[in-house]
Amino acid sequence: MNRACLRRALPLALIACLTLWAGWPGFFELPPSRFVLPPHPVAAQAEETPRLESTLINPPDPLSVHAASIAALPDGRLFAVWFGGLREGSMDVKIYAADNQNGAWSPQRVLATTAQTTADTGRFVRKLGNPVAFVTPQGELWVVYVSVALGGWATSQLNLITSPDLGKSWRPARRLITAPFLNLSTLVKGYPVFFENGDTGLPVYFELGGKQGELLILSPQGDVRRVTRMDYGSRSLQPIVMAETPARAVALLRDSDDRPPHRVWRTETTDAGRRWSPLAQTDLPNPNSALAALRLEDGKLLAVANDVENERLRLSLLVSADDGWHWRVLHRFEDKEDFLQQSPDAAAFRTRLTEDIQTLGRAPDPAEIIRNVERNLCKPRCGWRYDYPYLIRAADGDFHLVYTWNGSFIRHLRFNRAWLEEKL
């Protein structure tokens, strides 16, 4: 193309880009709205006995599972989703779901596939990733999940499926348009916040050419209203947002910075998520791994995290009394930090794994558990991995934690306020 043609083409291209940008809903400033604070759970009975219960949610097929989330439904059930397949990123990955009623998990069922997502959205989908489930202020059950057509996670898009009857039936999947141009590189991990006008604020993150946390604002109909950046660098992922007042919230973010020390990042907003303060490091170690957190009724923050700088060998329950700056360990759900500098041989690994299985509660056959874990984590040296926690509190006051257990199963832990009070 000669210079004259180029000079004529550039203004036209600029006008086309500006037209596209202006036509995107996120271009326009939203009217102010305020956070809806989570309701206080039902007060526990004074004679309540401390309880910590464990189970594995999924069967041994598929061999690899990851990135679970859990939602407490208005009818008292729990609803969990995760992805599973031969391995993370493989083309056979599906989104799975299960329900828990009266303490027992239902058989898993397939919630979304690449083929169905392709058919629903009219866009080719090659692989699936992180799902997040939640109940909207309007009482619908929504699941947002990641899909990729070409490339890796940095070229991902988000999809939304909704259920008007709390999981009995589902509307077709549709793409969320989170950017006005290529609509690439938005992923999801955290639990949402909600607004007084009925909108949902979904914590998401961006990975293409940089890594930043964002807050995606969705209308009650599931349309994208706006995306607000929480960072403008390349160092943060997977925000967790916790409202304190209708205008103020604190967010914690995974550290993706190559430079030590590796610590959880913190930011806050005083205008209900429209603007965020510059990121600052807390004293909570983070090995570039997802964390979970929520705010207690007394204002303290409760978190579950891999509180080491390397690997994901430990998963701890922690508390902060100063809004997320400093953290104290309450309990170790998993701890193999003594193997940080050494890998066990196959025999020692199997012996320790067999001991661990005794603590899991309701679970598949031990031989099937060992088979899956060795297949996923002995490559060739064996190790342990506990990651991607997701923490909620139900209306009855109980806490529910799900996380990936050794790359092979989704573990569900349920504990009550009395158990937590003993740790506090």
pLDDT interval class at 228 (50, 70, 90): very high
DSSP string, 113-141: -HHHHHHHHSS---EEEEEEEEE-TTS-E
Mean pLDDT of 181-190: 85
Question: What value, to the nearest 5°, has the Cα angle with vertex 167 and ends 161 and 168?
Answer: 120
The pLDDT of residue 310 is 87
In a domain, 4, yes or no: no
Q: Report the side by side order of strands in the sheet with 174-176.
A: 127-135, 141-148, 157-163, 174-176
Q: What are phi and psi of 286, to 5 degrees?
A: -155, 115
Higher pLDDT, 189 or 11: 189
Q: Is the pLDDT of residue 270 over 90?
A: yes
Beta strands in 14-165 (DSSP E): 35-36, 52-56, 64-72, 78-85, 94-101, 104-105, 109-112, 127-135, 141-148, 157-163
Judge contact between 400 and 100, C-beta under 8 A. Answer: no
Of residues 300 and 150, more confidently modeled: 300
Beta carbons within 10 angstroms of residue 32's beta carbon: 12
Q: How many residues does the chain have?
A: 424
- Total domains, the chain: 1
Residue 277 lies in a domain: yes
pLDDT tens-digit readout, 140-160? 999 999 999 988 888 899 999
In a domain, 25, yes or no: no
- 187: part of which helix (H) or strand (E)? strand 186-188
DSSP letter string over 326-347? Answer: S-EEEEEEEE-GGGTT----HH
In this structure, is residue 255 part of a structural domain? yes
Is residue 42 a part of any domain in this protein?
no
- For 107-132, what is each residue's pLDDT tens digit? 999 999 999 999 999 999 999 999 99
**Residue in the block written with tokens 């899956």:** 372
Look at residue 28 in the predicted model and tell me its pLDDT. 54
Q: Is the pLDDT of residue 363 over 60?
A: yes
| Residue 26 within any structural domain of the chain | no
For position 4, what pLDDT does the model report? 54
288 lies in some domain: yes
pLDDT tens digits along 241-252:
999 999 999 999
Q: Which residues of 358-375 are buried (b: 16+ CB within 10 A; e: fewer)?
A: eebeebbeeeebbebbbe
pLDDT value, residue 225? 93
Residue 203: strand, helix, or coil: strand
Domain CATH for 211 = 2.120.10.10
In-domain check, residue 2: no
- Residue range of the domain that includes 214: 54-423
Mean of the per-residue pLDDT values for the chain?
A: 91
Per-residue confidence band for 30, with pLDDT thresholds at 50, 70 and 90:
low
Q: What is the pTM of this model?
A: 0.93
What's the pLDDT band for 3 if we cut at 50, 70, 90? low
Amino acid present at 80: A
